[in-house]
Structure 1
Amino acid sequence: MQVNAICRGIIQTELNEAVWQAWSQRQLPAHQQPFTTWAAAKTARLFSLNRWQTPPDDATMRVHLAALQARNMTRQTSNVDDGFVVQA
C-alpha cells in the first residue's frame, strides 16, 4: 500500500480573496490596500518563486502520485508550496 502526503501552500482562490477583503474592511482606512498590492508583497516576502499556488499546481502532484510512474514512491511528504518550506 502506498501512503504519501501533499503539503499544499497558499492556493489562490476566490475564497481566500473574500476572506482577505472581509479582514481588510475592518482595518483603519490608512492601512487598507488593494488585494493585488497585498498579495504581491506577501508572495515576494514568502515564496522563492514569487507566485501563488493554483489549484492546477496541487492537482498535478495528485495526478503524479496516482500514476504508474510513482508506484515506488511511498511514505513521502511532498511540499507543493513554492519553496515556503525547505526540508533538508
Structure 2
Amino acid sequence: MQVNAICPGTTQIELNEAVWQAWSQRQLPAHQQPFTTWAAAKTARLFSLNRWQTPPDDATMRVHLAALQARNMTRQTSNVDDGFVVQA
C-alpha cells in the first residue's frame, strides 16, 4: 500500500480576493487597502519564494506522485507551499 500526503500552501484563487474584500469593507477607512497591496505585503512577509502558490503548482506534485517514477515513494509528506514561513 502506497500512501503519500500533499500539504499545499496558500493558493492564489479568486476566492482569496473576494474574502479579502468582504473583510476589508468591515475595517475603518484608514485601514482599508487594495487587495494587490495587501497580497504583495503578505507574500513578502510569509513566502520565501515571494509568490503565491497556484493550482498548477499543486497539480504538478499530484501528477508526479501518480507517475511511475514515484513508485518507490511511500509514507511521504510533500510540502508544496512556496517556502511558507511560520512566524511565532
Displacement over 3 Å in runs of 4+: 85-88
- Distance in 1 of aligned mates of 2:2 and 2:57: 21
Instruction: Give the superposition deviation at 1:15.
Output: 0.7
Identical positions, percent: 95
What's the counterpart of residue 4 of structure 2?
4
Q: CA RMSD in A?
A: 2.6
**Deviation at 1:60?**
0.2
Gaps of 5+ in 1: none
Instruction: Identify the residue that residue 48 of structure 1 maps to in structure 2.
Output: 48
State the 1:85 CA deviation.
Answer: 5.2
Q: TM-score, normalised by structure 2?
A: 0.94
Aligned length in residues: 88
Q: CA deviation at 1:17?
A: 1.1
TM-score normalized by structure 1?
0.94
Supply the distance in 1 between the matched residues of 2:86 and 2:31 (Cα, whole angstroms): 32
CA contact (8 A) 2:53 2:82 kept: yes
- Deviation of residue 84 (structure 1)? 1.2
Q: Cα gap change, 1:75/1:55 in structure 2, threshold over 3 Å: closer, same or farther?
A: same
Unaligned segments of structure 2, at least 5 residues: none
